[in-house]
Structure 1
Amino acid sequence: MIWEGLTFIGTVAFALSGAFVAMEENYDLMGVYILGLVTAFGGGAIRNLLIGVPVSALWEQGSFFIVAIVAITLAFLFPFLIFQQWIKFGLLFDAIGLSAFAIQGAMYATEMGHPLSAVIVAAALTGTGGGMIRDVLAGRKPLFLQKEMYIIWAMIAGALIGLNLIYSPIGYTFLFIVVIVLRMLSVHYKWQLPRRKMNHFIKPKPKNHTT
């Protein structure tokens, strides 16, 4: 039940995210569906490749494909109605998807008996992989590489599950809420990881003077 609940929440949140990005970029109907589905299921596909699960296992989630298609269809048919709510709650939906899929990915890797490093990677890629593919296909810089502390929350969730510090339904629910709260706080307070710009270290070339 926990697995299915997290998958449902993440699927809806990311499908809507991909659909709205596609409409912002003026994609046609097929582009909206493709970007929505890729955002919802891309992270799981990348995770499966890395932890040794056949990518075809995604087709076993037939009901969630229907959920994603319904969410995308509603977004396309009623963009103004839903987009107004997206403006208000878009970051929250994204945080919900990040948290749900990160925990789901970590649980998946743990149940397969993978080591801690693989659990963390599974959490990070399941939580951010769909958004990464979405941004690349939309011609945008991937969100988790440039803004706020995004992927770090997924990695922390994976580490807690991989270390068996979180293992009960109550624990998963608490972690789900905590990741959402931390994600929203990082946006509100603009928490960011350290960064460097190489142009600070590169001396400008002297200009050639011609007579």
Structure 2
Amino acid sequence: MWEVLNMIGTIAFALSGVNVALEERYDLMGVYILGFITAFGGGAVRNILIGVPVSELWAQGTLFTIAFIVMTIAFIFPRMLKWTLLRRGVFFDAIGLGAFSVQGALYAQSMGLPLSASIAAAALTGTGGGMIRDVLAGRKPLFLQKEIYIAWTLIPGLTVGLGWLTGPVEVLLIVAAVVTLRLCSVYYGWSLPRRFQH
């Protein structure tokens, strides 16, 4: 299940990075850089946080190859990325958020780390790559937008971290819940309470 989530998240975030690169009119190298950073940046940040060597990322040769192929196809056939359901490619980003936040929580739990680590790993794995992507593209990071974003990673962080839902079907349901809630946040404009200073 961990590998399945890794595959789904990598493809979804790679496409999300390509989408942003094409919107910013980057060249082919810019597309690859943003795509790879979006797909693997969150995992790198998570590894640093929970004490796993960042070099572990280089053991994912197959995923790098898949991401490269997906990004190349998307660059050659950019019309494929128009199927995003919502603005700014949020569809791909929502899938990556769901898959990677659950994967991050599972990773922390498998290492026997406490609940706080599962919550942090879910948040960083789910949002880290997109955050770096948006900063490099000169955009306001998605997780700082008004619609609820990073808060949804609490769902896998808590349920997986507490050991409530860890079976294959349950894990997929958590992914589906995070994706659906993120899309609804954008579509319906859901946001967390805010305070303004005058």
Fold conserved between structures, TM > 0.5: yes
8 Å CA contact 2:85, 2:91 repeated in 1: no
Could you tell me which residue of structure 1 aligns to residue 2 of structure 2? 3
Q: Which moved more, 1:91-100 or 1:131-140?
A: 91-100
8 Å CA contact 2:155, 2:174 repeated in 1: no
Count the aligned residue pairs.
Answer: 197
Cα drift, residue 87 of structure 1? 5.7
Could you tell me which residue of structure 2 aligns to residue 22 of structure 1? 21
Report whether the alignment pairs 1:160 with 2:159.
yes
Cα drift, residue 91 of structure 1? 2.7
Q: Which has the larger radius of gyration?
A: 1
Could you tell me which residue of structure 2 aligns to residue 141 of structure 1? 140
> Compared with structure 1, are the counterparts of its residues 118 and 56 closer, same or farther at alpha carbon in structure 2 (3 Å cutoff)?
same
Cα drift, residue 70 of structure 1? 0.7
Report whether the alignment pairs 1:31 with 2:30.
yes
Cα drift, residue 140 of structure 1? 0.5
Could you tell me which residue of structure 2 aligns to residue 74 of structure 1? 73
CA distance in 2, matches of 1:197, 1:25: 32
CA distance in 2, matches of 1:23, 1:61: 26
TM-score after normalising by structure 1: 0.89
Could you tell me which residue of structure 2 aligns to residue 110 of structure 1? 109
CA distance in 1, matches of 2:195, 2:112: 37
CA distance in 1, matches of 2:108, 2:190: 29
CA distance in 1, matches of 2:100, 2:151: 14
> Compared with structure 1, are the counterparts of its residues 87 and 74 closer, same or farther at alpha carbon in structure 2 (3 Å cutoff)?
farther
1:61-106 per-position Cα deviation (integer Å, ceiling 9, x unaligned): 1100011101110111111x21322466933322111000000000
What amino acid does structure 1 have at the position aligned with 2:169? I
What amino acid does structure 1 have at the position aligned with 2:68? I
Could you tell me which residue of structure 2 aligns to residue 181 of structure 1? 180
CA distance in 2, matches of 1:87, 1:117: 34
Could you tell me which residue of structure 2 aligns to residue 95 of structure 1? 94
Which structure 1 segments of 5+ residues have no match? 202-211
What amino acid does structure 1 have at the position aligned with 2:41? G
CA distance in 2, matches of 1:96, 1:125: 15
Could you tell me which residue of structure 2 aligns to residue 195 of structure 1? 194
What amino acid does structure 1 have at the position aligned with 2:9? G
Could you tell me which residue of structure 2 aligns to residue 207 of structure 1? none
Could you tell me which residue of structure 1 aligns to residue 12 of structure 2? 13
TM-score after normalising by structure 2: 0.95
Could you tell me which residue of structure 2 aligns to residue 84 of structure 1? 82
What amino acid does structure 2 have at the position aligned with 1:21? V
Cα drift, residue 19 of structure 1? 1.0
1:157-192 per-position Cα deviation (integer Å, ceiling 9, x unaligned): 111111111121121111111111111221222110
CA distance in 2, matches of 1:63, 1:137: 25
